[in-house]
Amino acid sequence: MLLLIFWSISIGWGLERAVGYTIEPETVTSTPTEVIASMDPVSKRYKLGKDLYLENCSACHIALPPEVLPTETWRRLLLEPQEHYGTQLRRLLGPSLLLTWQYLRDFSRPHNKDEEVPYRMTQSRYFNALHPRVKIPRPFGVKTCVTCHPGVANYDYRTLTPEWQDAP
């Protein structure tokens, strides 16, 4: 019994060290090379999860910032890869899944229990709140983002085209 308890504590401690979970706030520092391929700099704790997210998602389409969709949408997309907009995805396993989930969970927004889980950006109240003056074209696809955000290929949604530079 003592061996089982010791083994469990060791595994928990090892996972905590591997994931880098810490209660203290971390400062985010970035150099110009770290800002490339990043919407916002993230602490070391989230860097691998963000890198895994970008590697897996931007291989097929533009990677969206986690803030655009609620946490529940990201959870379902990760747990149900067979229902990814008509495409069967390779399932993330083990640490890759946990690290990607930690990044998406902590940078996404809460989901209200009384609303449907949005699976399209245009259905997300967060997307609409971030784009109050934008007339969303129909049909809409993630490639439409490039029209106003020319840096999306580098995961840069902060840089805007000149017509939107000073837009509130």
Dihedral, CA of residue 14, residue 16, residue 19 and residue 25, to nearest 10: -150
| 146 domain-assigned | yes
| 20 domain-assigned | no
| 65 domain-assigned | yes
| 99 domain-assigned | yes
Query: What is the tens place of the pLDDT at every residue in 76-104?
Result: 888 887 767 777 677 777 888 899 899 99
Query: What is the tens place of the pLDDT at every residue in 106-162?
Result: 999 888 888 898 888 888 888 888 888 888 888 777 677 888 888 888 888 888 888
Domain containing residue 113:
44-159
Report the distance separating Cα 160 and Cα 162, nearest Å.
Answer: 6
| 113 domain-assigned | yes
3-state secondary structure of 100: helix
| 52 domain-assigned | yes
Residue 63 DSSP class: P
The domain tally of the chain equals 1
Residue 87: phi and psi, rounded to 5, are: -120, 140
Residue 121 DSSP class: G
Length of the chain: 168
Longest Cα–Cα distance in the chain: 68
Name the percent of the chain in helix, strand, coil, to the closest 5. Answer: 50, 0, 45
| CB 57, CB 96: distance < 8 Å | no
User: pTM, whole model, 2 decimals?
Assistant: 0.70
